[in-house]
Amino acid sequence: MPSDSRLILVLNSGSSSLKFAVHDTGTPIPLLSGLAERLTGEGPTITFKDDSGKQAHPLPEASHAAALDAVLAELTRRGWIDSLTAVGHRVVHGGERFTHSVLITPSVITDIEAVSPLAPLHNPAAVLGMRVALQRLPSIPHVVVVDTAFHQTMKPEAFLYAIPMEFYRKHGVRRYGFHGTSHRYVAGETVKLLHLDPNDHGLVVCHLGNGASATAVQDGCCVDTSMGMTPLEGLVMGTRSGDIDAAAVLHIMRITGRGPDEMNTLLNKESGLLAVSELSNDCRELEAAAEDGHAGAQLALEVFAHRLARHIGGLAMALRRLDAVVFTGGIGENSARVRAMTLARLRPLGLQMDAAANACMTRGAAGIISVQGTTPIVAVVPTNEEWMIACDTDQLARQAAGALVEAD
Ligand code: ADP
């Protein structure tokens, strides 16, 4: 490790897990990454992954603090700890308070806690991770990178639900959008790949993983997105329903006697590809099953593609001009079949897929899959949320260091 290396630790705290990545600021591939799991139960473990492979170890205690201690011990063992310059924390929900990444101060933590009612599972876990990390690493800057921040440029016409305004004014009920760090990164990479004008372009970015959302990006800013107040709205996902008539939800509650928590589980964990296929939430498994003639798997993929195409068409109307549709995330980057099924439904927008280019996309590579010379262009661009978090963190840490020097 060169002595002038600047290492950034990226943390993503879940309620019972801690994902981490260590980036050298010069390169998008992490030097080390991993996951600590079962942090509230029996048998907590941590897995480290680097270019030599994966290694799992038991943790002495089931807690976020034990997990972070194991990460720091590993950095010490590798002789990297003195090069650690900043920590970036991923936060899912920033309400209207966060429009971009910021250095963590006590008031930032209070603001994240204040929007916890909108993300009751995610935000308290993120705050717990921050508190532990601030305690263990008090002398380096910590930064929050918020998933909703990129979408804060949406206008009221895009973010309001047409329900009485008091719910927005008093309780923050509105559309926020998620996966913002991925959408921002992929939009920026697409502008470079396609040599678009950074100040004059229109994209629809489709982030298709276990969770899925699509965003209309104009001139680098989000103008509309498919997810709403929570990550449930919009596209069909692995186990989430996406859009559903609210009256259908009320009807199911009445006829089955289910309460709000049970409906939350049904719509977030028991729906989506899993529910329609009656087989799996995993796109790769569904493709294999559809290939073998499983009707449910084929139907689930059709429903997924239909909903996605409908959203892409709708989102394009929020733009001044549609230059490109971009696929990213585990499904978007790897499933030629889902891309083809979606694009076949988008011919009215003039999209023309190059079947050979679509089939030949290599894993992890960016490329164009539309017929050469046609517009809008269709591209595949791998996402890298951790790298985007590391870049924001490094930039803010450098600014903070510069401000300190100036103050001296
Ligand atoms: P997460 O949202 O949890 O980060 P990912 O972005 O890794 O998830 O995406 C996971 C999804 O990508 C799963 O449905 C998985 O089946 C799908 N996927 C990964 N590789 C392939 C592939 N080669 N073909 C089709 N689907 C794939």
1 pLDDT more than 80: no
Q: Is the CB of 35 under 6 A from ligand 1?
A: no
Q: Count of CB atoms within 10 A of residue 298's CB?
A: 17
- Nearest CA owner, ligand 1 atom 23: 334
* Mean pLDDT calculated for residue range 66-76: 96
26 pLDDT more than 90: no
2 pLDDT more than 80: no
Q: Which of 284, 286, 308 to mutate to test the pocket of ligand 1 (most atoms within 8 A of CB)?
A: 284
H-helix or E-strand containing 128?
Answer: helix 122-136
Share of the chain above pLDDT 70, in %: 98
pLDDT tens for each residue of 201-231: 999 999 999 999 999 999 999 999 999 999 9
DSSP-assigned beta bridge partners for residue 53: 50
Determine the pLDDT at residue 290: 98
| Sign of the alpha-carbon dihedral angle for 249, 283, 35, 37 | positive
- 147: annotated active-site residue: yes
Q: Is the CB of 287 under 6 A from ligand 1?
A: yes
pLDDT tens for each residue of 318-364: 999 999 999 999 999 999 999 999 999 999 999 999 999 999 998 89
Instruction: Give the full edge-to-edge strand order of the sheet including 212-218.
Output: 221-225, 212-218, 202-208, 324-328, 377-380, 367-368
Give all domains of the chain, ordered by start, each with its CATH number: 7-146 (3.30.420.40), 195-385 (3.30.420.40)
Share of the chain above pLDDT 90, in %: 92
* Mean pLDDT calculated for residue range 234-256: 98
| Residue 113 backbone class (left: φ over 0; alpha: ψ -120 to 50; beta: rest) | alpha
* Mean pLDDT calculated for residue range 300-311: 98
Asked if residue 208 lies in contact with residue 328, where contact means CB atoms within 8 angstroms, the answer is: yes
Q: Would you place residue 119 in the very low, low, confident or very high pLDDT band (cuts 50, 70, 90)?
A: confident
Q: Is the CB of 282 under 6 A from ligand 1?
A: yes
DSSP H helices, 148-294, are 156-159, 165-171, 180-193, 246-256, 260-269, 272-277, 283-291
Of the candidates 50, 69, 147, 224, the residue annotated as catalytic is 147
Q: What is the dihedral of CA 292, 293, 295, 297, to 10 degrees?
A: 20
Q: Is the CB of 332 under 6 A from ligand 1?
A: no
pLDDT tens for each residue of 378-402: 999 999 999 999 999 999 999 988 8
CA of 329 to the centre of ligand 1 (A): 7
